Amino acid sequence: MLLVLTGVTAVSVALLAWVNEITKEPIAAANAKTLSDAVSAVVPGFDNDPIADKKMQEVNGVQYAVYPATKSGEFIGAAVEASAMGFGGELKVLVGFDAQGNVLDYSLLSHVETPGLGSKAADWFKKGGKGDITGKNPGTSPLTVSKDGGEIDAITASTITSRAFLNAVNAAYAAYAGQNTADGATGATTQNNVEQPADESAPADSTGVK
């Protein structure tokens, strides 16, 4: 019996390793296409390859991926990946900023929030949505929900997710501004005091950052 169980285990491990190997490249290719499509959506109009020009920017000990966009050699904005802890776990977004640091658009890359509630973040904060953040500049004033004294309408019955989303956007801006200040590409104001929320159950301060 021991030999049989050992044999079955060995075969199972070998099969899993084989499946992982043959699916690794297709999964990587699919993820790369998803990221490329997201960058194109949140910072349209570039003629360079933002993903190839990717830079890492550290803010408060956290590394952020910044994808600079240019057209005819002129900087037109950037897409920045950022994440925050929501109600159910990590919420990851890709935020597009123009050359002045205004929000162009965003893409919700992944989340584990409550279906039907937290998942509304994919559209709630887009142009025309109830919590529309397009055109807003987190460098002028950090984005916060109205419940915390801000001007952004939170997702109905999902304030924690809304706070997490806006924390991620504010963090993305801090990385964007920090990268561009270092490169001298734009006059966007650096906002280095944005932190990832450590405890979503804790009350937000006046900036919306826990």
For the cut 50, the answer to whether the pLDDT of residue 209 exceeds it is no
Distance CA 159, CA 71 (A): 38
For the cut 60, the answer to whether the pLDDT of residue 69 exceeds it is yes
Cα–chain center distance at 64: 9
Determine the average pLDDT of the residues in 46-61: 94
C-alpha angle 141/128/98, rounded to 5°? 50
pTM, two decimals, is: 0.75
User: Encoding tokens for residue 109?
Assistant: 């890359």
pLDDT tens-digit readout, 11-36? 787 777 777 767 667 666 666 678 88
pLDDT tens-digit readout, 106-145? 999 887 667 777 778 889 999 999 999 999 999 999 999 9
- Residue 16: is it exposed, middle or buried by C-beta count within 10 angstroms (0-12/13-18/19+)? exposed
